[in-house]
Structure 1
Amino acid sequence: MDAILGGTIYRSDQNYTYVSQVVIPPVSGQQPYSIFFSLEKTKKAAAPAVEMYVKSAYLSPLKHKPNAQNWRFKALVGETAGLFDPKAKGRKK
């Protein structure tokens, strides 16, 4: 999870599934690890929050369409949580 925080993620499908790739250090060299997940705004939280649902994760090179939308993970979390509107400039108060 630490590696995904600063990473770029890509839309994997039209059901708001995203994919990110992190590198994990196994015994012999580093391996690419793909994580497929969705994010949903937490409805009952006192502060803006999201819930992340991992749908699949396995050792594999990153798989996404060449023209897939991409975001910084932190930006997508902020957008999903409602901290800012991606179409507006600046943050919500």
Structure 2
Amino acid sequence: MGELCRSHSPRRRHEGDRRSSVEMRAHWTHRAGIRAVPVVVGFAEEIRDAQRARGLTTSPRAFAVPLIVRALRHADTLANALVARGLAD
């Protein structure tokens, strides 16, 4: 089983690519950045909806703090998923 996992790991599959390690990292960083935009917009909409439901006024701090916390939590989860798939050092 261990040999099967090693031979089919994502890093092993990309060994035949002509892209360098730097190019692959730039590619994944770019992809994650593009994917993060709609995710963060979704977080912002959820936070605004929750604030409206509670009848809170729209203060920049009351909006920014939960948005930053959710975005960082999402980034941490994404990083852990990439590590688990063998796509990180």
Q: Same fold (TM over 0.5)?
A: no
- The structure with the largest helix share of the pair is 2
The higher-RCO structure (CA 8 Å, 6+ apart) is: 2
> When the two structures are superposed, what TM-score results if normalisation uses the length of structure 1?
0.24
More strand by share: 1
**Could you say which structure has the larger radius of gyration?**
2
